[in-house]
Amino acid sequence: MSALTGGFTSPAPQAARAFRLALMALSRPGRIETVSGATGPAPLSAAAATLLLVLADRDTPIFLGAGHDGTDVREWIAFHIGAPLVPPEAAMLAVGTWPDLPLSRFPIGLPDYPDRSATLIVESPAISAEGPRLTGPGIAGEARLSLPEVNAFRANRMLYPQGLDFFFTAGDRLAALPRSTQVESA
Amino acid sequence: MYVAVKGGERAIDAAHAWLAEERRGDPAIPELSVAQIRSQLTLAVNRVMTEGALYDPDLAALAIKQARGDLIEAIFLLRAYRTTLPRLGTSQPLETAKMQVSRRISATFKDLPGGQVLGPTFDYTHRLLDFALMAEGEMPAAPTAPVRDDPVPHVMGLLDRDGLIEPAPEGGTPADLTRAPLEFPADRALRLQSIARGDEGFLLGLAYSTQRGYGRTHAFVGELRIGTVAVEMEIPELGFAVEIGEIEVSECETVNQFKGSKTEPPQFTRGYGLVFGQNERKALSVSLVDRALRWQELGEDFVGAPAQDEEFVLSHCDNVQATGFLEHIKLPHYVDFQAELELIRRLRREALQEAAE
Amino acid sequence: MSLLTDRRALMGLLARAAPDRLAALAGPLPEAIELRPAQTGTVMVQGRIGGTGAAFKMGEMVVTRCSVQVAGIAGHAHVQGRDKAHARTAAVLDAMWQADPARIAALLAPLAAEETARRQTRAAKAAATRVEFFTLVRGEDQ
């Protein structure tokens, strides 16, 4: 494993397929997808590495949580993406474990431009369809997802249409929670 | 009310087929190759690259062929193609002082280091149609002379040494209008990006208007240089900058009168233009318009001239935007017009009724 | 700049080369693993206000890049234009140069010579259009 390996071998179809799956996860909150294509250096999961390649380019400032911020990951991002690494306040995308992501410091967008907000990739020990109850757009009835907590997501929902969007990654699995989803304790 | 607009498909297909046939023209005449356009209609190629804001002579030549010589259509094609490409990086700022010049003139200093080099210019031609070009034939080779390796410094540096001209501005990372929407007020870097890709005719008209008194700035060409420069880019995986290619550019700097202000002593000021290819009319126009747009920064009066009005200039100089909006009015507006028609009928009915009462 | 000692000189020469000529000179290439397959994109070219001042974005140029690994050595290329084979060849030659600079420098020497000759020709034509002023002395000044 080096900084120069682990990118897409066939960028166009692999990126299109992974992007489609990420979109499915985001538009169907709670749905778990399996993605592949990229392999990043530890501790980056395959799903997070693939998401980075799909969502980021050199115009996407990225924040790395403390556990992910090492030479290997930095060099991998420099070669495969070329994105600048920035503090949370300037980030459009962030990767890290839940405790490593300082939620209050990320941009939540402006009333006129709610899209100028950050998307957080939360590296998780595991993802399963159990736990807090999700309702809202894209969910038929209700869904369940193993979230690290409830209050942070309830507070985020209150900011709508501003706010943060989340991906959760574990191994090659990912799920997503957009700002439009209501979260309640199980 | 809903008006169904369907049924044009067959007609559109037939129109495209006829367009292709008309583009080819008389099959008895040899077809024009992209390489021929690239090497023989170079100045058209340069204009398409500059206003398409994408340097690639092959693609610009292809666009000209596809557009049947309609340069704005060709620019549109190039811009559309550009949107399909990922951005791989940003170059180091070009070092135009290191340009290999094919043309370099100054209208302000006769004797300058590096000399006056005319290059392949139309300037001293008699503008008489050359009927010899109607026949194909061999060209005599252009004469050559021994190359002198003396440096070709920027003329402005000479004035700068004496403090007679404002220094070139310093600044940080410039904005990029291809990445963030244009907002006003725009700084000078953003204005230069915008007018560099602006329509040549529009900018020529604006530049001319400043010469005729609409926001007069008394411009002299301090220096005009055309030639090739290396493009270098920092490569993250290497950790150093390498040359990724070589492009031809035209650079123009104007020297303008300035009486001085509360904070500045009397000195000359500058206008600047840098565009792709040999394209000096455009480079000159850009420098004059650049200077006119600087009235606020230099503490000059706004006299209401179009060339001083940044929102007017930047919002209307892009010919792809302009032609898109202009030409869309020929597309179906059946519903809008139906509403107008009913409104007029109602107003007339009411007016007649009132007259009757 | 020497092709033998300066990797920047090598990469610049490869980037500017005409793809056909480079392919003909390079001949058959060794096996290479593609670390980042050839990809065409743009590079935003920057100028400087007033030629020497603050940077501004001028417009983009079309560039193709490629990264490969030859016998364990990574080779990189960014070349002008859309030719993917050109970028791949340049990346392979960059890797080979790192293993054996003398061999690749010799291989590419004709390319460098041709480029120098082309530049010289242009410079000589430009020199012929250089104005040599001579001032006529006017009567009243005497």
Q: Which residues of A touch B237 (CB under 8 A)?
A: 3-4, 78-79
Extents of the domains making up chain A? 11-184
Average pLDDT over residues A68-94: 95
Number of domains in chain C: 1
Of C36, C69, C74, the CB nearest to A7: C36
- The pLDDT of residue B357 is 85
Q: Which helix (H) or strand (E) holds A54?
A: helix A46-55
Of chain A, the end-to-end C-alpha distance in Å amounts to 41
Q: Is residue C51 part of a domain?
A: yes
- pLDDT (tens digit per residue) in A106-151: 999 999 999 999 999 999 999 999 999 999 999 999 999 999 999 9
Per-residue pLDDT of chain B (357 residues), as tens digits, is 455 567 789 999 999 999 999 999 999 999 999 999 999 999 999 999 999 999 999 999 999 999 999 999 999 999 999 999 999 999 999 999 999 999 999 999 888 888 899 999 999 999 999 988 888 778 888 999 999 887 888 888 887 777 888 888 888 889 999 998 899 999 999 999 999 999 999 999 999 999 999 998 889 999 999 999 999 999 988 889 999 999 999 999 999 987 777 777 788 899 999 999 999 999 999 999 999 999 999 888 899 999 999 999 999 999 999 999 999 999 888 888 999 999 999 999 999 999 988
Decide if B243 and C81 are in contact by the 8 Å CB cutoff: no
Instruction: Determine how β-strand B87-93 pairs with β-strand C33-48.
Output: parallel
CB half-sphere exposure, A89, CA atoms < 13 A: 0
Q: Which two tokens stand for residue B319?
A: 């010919």
Contacts of B53 (CB under 8 A, 6+ apart): B79, B82, B178, B196, B197, C59, C60
Decide if B88 and A4 are in contact by the 8 Å CB cutoff: no
Q: Does B236 touch chain A (CB under 8 A)?
A: yes
Q: Which residues of C touch B56 (CB under 8 A)?
A: 61-62, 81-82
Q: Does C69 touch chain A (CB under 8 A)?
A: yes
- Which partners does chain C have (≥3 C-beta pairs < 8 Å)? A, B
How many other C-beta atoms are found inside a 10 Å radius of the C-beta of residue B232?
20
Domain holding C33, by residue range, is: 7-114
Distance CA C34, CA C31 (A): 10
| Residues above pLDDT 70, as percent of chain A | 99
Q: Which two tokens stand for residue B11?
A: 């007609």
More confident of the two residues C104 and B169: C104
Q: Does C41 touch chain A (CB under 8 A)?
A: no
Distance CA B221, CA B252 (A): 7
- The pLDDT of residue C137 is 67
Which residues in chain B (182-201) have CB-CB distances under 8 A to chain C?
Answer: 188-190, 192-193, 196-197
Contacts of B341 (CB under 8 A, 6+ apart): none
Q: Does B144 touch chain C (CB under 8 A)?
A: yes
Of B87, B236, B237, the CB nearest to A59: B87
Instruction: Determine how β-strand A62-64 pairs with β-strand C73-80.
Output: unpaired
ipTM of the modeled complex: 0.93
Distance CA B158, CA C52 (A): 13
Q: Is B252 within 8 Å of B287 (Cβ atoms)?
A: yes
- The pLDDT of residue B267 is 85
Q: Does B86 touch chain A (CB under 8 A)?
A: yes
- The pLDDT of residue C56 is 97
Of B111, B143, B174, the CB nearest to C57: B174
Q: Does C37 touch chain A (CB under 8 A)?
A: yes
Alpha helices of chain B — where are they, by DSSP H?
9-24, 34-40, 42-52, 57-66, 71-82, 156-161, 188-196, 200-211, 280-292, 310-316, 319-328, 334-356
- pLDDT (tens digit per residue) in C7-22: 999 999 999 999 999 9
Distance CA C22, CA B350 (A): 79
Q: Is residue C132 part of a domain?
A: no
Of C35, C37, C39, the CB nearest to A4: C35
Q: Is residue C141 part of a domain?
A: no
Q: Is residue C64 part of a domain?
A: yes
Q: Which residues of C touch B249 (CB under 8 A)?
A: 47, 58
CATH 2.40.50.140 fits A11-184, yes or no: no
Distance CA A45, CA A6 (A): 12
Q: Does A4 touch chain C (CB under 8 A)?
A: yes
Decide if B145 and C128 are in contact by the 8 Å CB cutoff: yes
Query: Which residue type sits at A156?
Result: N
pTM confidence score? 0.90
- The pLDDT of residue B3 is 54
Q: With bands split at pLDDT 50, 70 and 90, how would you rate the model's confidence at A164? A: very high
- The pLDDT of residue C1 is 55
Contacts of A14 (CB under 8 A, 6+ apart): A8, A37
- The pLDDT of residue C135 is 67
